[in-house]
Amino acid sequence: MVHESEMRIAASPQDSSVTLTLPSLSADTPRDLAAVASFEDERAIPERTAEARASRPAPSFRAIFDAHYDYVWLSLRRLGVSDRDREDITNEVFFRVHGRLDAYDPERPIRPWLFAFAVRAASDYRKLARHRREASVPEGTPISVHPGPGPDEHAIRREEQQLVALALDALDMDRRSVFVMHELDQVAVPTIASALGIPLGTAYTRLRSARQDFAIAVRRLSARRVEAP
């Protein structure tokens, strides 16, 4: 029998603040998906507020590169680009961004716009036969050394990160991109639809399907781990 906490999934398209609870590995470990699936990389940088964005001129490419390189790097990780290739693909994303910078509307949040470039680059990457399939969170992923959970909790958190990475791999890129944007980046579905250039109804459908398949994958992987000797 698999001992796990209930994974709560709100399937209503109108509910944009959903909490997914991962299978229990320890009673003392947090279960918020955004906390776990962020992969604890310390790379994400807070997005500017809407007030700070308003009435500002378009940022330079250098400013975008410096402020959002780590965000694109982390997004590619969540989209399944392996550690060994992620720096190259991140640079490829910014090469594409540089060529389309005149299309950016500074009155809109920049991260969804950048994420769309990351999705296209990750999709192209995953279609190539040159890379081998591997977990998005390898065993060598560094863990923050500043005060925080003890060694046992770190081990539990890393195990959960690997679980999330493998569960994300069960999603195709169309659903994975919507799921990552909404559940991890906390982007509203209408903004996701606009950034990815898809109908709003399609975005909601992909999100609902992704939630269901992600939950199934987590339960299946958890069962295998419990049954393993």
Provide the token pair at 15: 């509910």
Q: Does residue 12 form part of some domain?
A: no
Q: How confident is the model at residue 226 (pLDDT cuts 50, 70, 90)?
A: low
Residues 111, 215: Cα–Cα separation, whole Å: 26
DSSP-assigned letter for residue 133: -
Q: Is residue 16 part of a domain?
A: no
pLDDT in tens, 39-55: 434 444 455 554 554 55
pLDDT of residue 29: 34
- The per-residue pLDDT of the chain, averaged, comes to 75
Structural domain range at position 157: 33-227
The Cα–Cα gap between 117 and 173 comes to: 13
Q: How confident is the model at residue 66 (pLDDT cuts 50, 70, 90)?
A: very high
Task: Specify if 5 maps to a domain.
Answer: no
Looking at residue 57, what is its pLDDT?
A: 79
Phi, psi dihedrals of residue 194, rounded to the nearest 5°: -65, -45
Q: Which amino acid is at 132?
A: R
CA distances from 226 to 2, 25, 128, 139, 190 (A): 7, 10, 34, 19, 39
**Does the model's pTM come out above 0.95?**
no
Cα separation, 192 vs 90, in Å, equals 20
Number of domains comprising the chain? 1
Cα–Cα separations (whole angstroms), residue 14 to 9, 32, 69, 203, 223: 13, 20, 32, 12, 31
- pLDDT class of 162 with cuts at 50, 70, 90: confident
pLDDT tens-digit readout, 183-203? 999 999 999 999 999 999 999
Q: Is the distance from CB of 131 to CB of 214 less than 8 angstroms?
A: no
In a domain, 148, yes or no: yes
